[in-house]
Amino acid sequence: MTLDLSGKNILVTGGTRGIGRAIVEAANAAGANVAFTYRSSTETAEQLVQALGGDDRALALQADAASADDAAAAVQAVTEKWGTIDGLVVNAGITRDTLMIRMSAEDWQAVLDTNLTGAFHVAKAAYRPMMKQRAGSIVTVSSVVGVMGNAGQANYAASKAGLIGFTKSLARELGGRGVRANVVAPGYIQTDMTADLGDKVTDAMKGQIPLGRLGQPDDIAAATLFLLSDASTYVTGHVLHVDGGMAM
Known catalytic membership, residue 156: yes
Q: Where are the beta strands (DSSP E) in 39-175?
A: 58-62, 87-90, 136-141
Q: Write out the binding residues for ligand NAD, residues 216-245 only, by CB under 6 A.
A: none
Q: Which stretch binds ligand NAD (CB under 6 A): 2-10, 164-172, 190-198, 226-234?
A: 190-198
17: contact with ligand NAD by CB under 6 A: yes
Residue whose CB is less far from ligand NAD, 95 or 135 = 95
Nearest alpha carbon to residue 37 among 10, 77, 67, 74: 74
Residue of 87, 93, 162, 244 that binds ligand NAD (CB under 6 A): 93
Q: Is 189 in the site for ligand NAD (CB under 6 A)?
A: yes
Q: How far apart are CA 59 and CA 8, in angstroms?
A: 14
Query: According to CB under 6 A, which one of 11, 26, 45, 94 is a site residue for ligand NAD?
Result: 94
Contacting residue, 87, 129, 162, 186, with ligand NAD by CB under 6 A: 186
- Please count the residues of the chain: 248
Compute the distance between CA of residue 226 and CA of residue 5 in angstroms, rounded to an integer.
10
Nearest-angstrom CA–CA distance, 61 and 59: 6
**Residues 86, 137 contacting (CB under 8 angstroms):** yes
Q: Does 153 bind ligand NAD (CB under 6 A)?
A: no
Stretch that binds ligand NAD, among 12-20, 27-35, 97-105, 131-139 (CB under 6 A): 12-20
Q: Give the residue, chosen from 141, 154, 181, 240, that forms a contact with ligand NAD under the rule CB under 6 A.
A: 141
Task: Give the range of 2-10, 23-31, 43-51, 63-71 binding ligand NAD by CB under 6 A.
Answer: 63-71
Query: For residue 47, how many other CB atoms are within 10 A of its CB?
Result: 13
Number of residues that bind ligand NAD (CB under 6 A): 25
The SS3 assignment for 58 reads strand
Local structure of 179: helix, strand or coil: strand
**Residues with Cβ < 8 Å from 54, sequence gap 6 or more?**
none
Q: Does 196 bind ligand NAD (CB under 6 A)?
A: no
229: which DSSP letter?
A: S
Q: How many CA atoms lie within 13 A of 5 on its CB side?
A: 31
**Which residue in the list 127, 156, 188, 234 is annotated as catalytic?**
156
Residue from the set 76, 84, 98, 194 that interacts with ligand NAD by CB under 6 A: 194
Q: Please answer whether residues 76 and 130 qualify as being in contact, where contact means their C-beta atoms are separated by less than 8 angstroms.
A: no
- In the complex with ligand NAD, the residue whose CB is nearer, 34 or 65, is 65
Which residues would be at the binding site for ligand NAD (CB under 6 A)? Answer: 14, 16-20, 37, 39, 64-66, 91-94, 114, 141, 143, 186, 188-189, 191-194
Indicate which residues carry an active-site annotation: 156
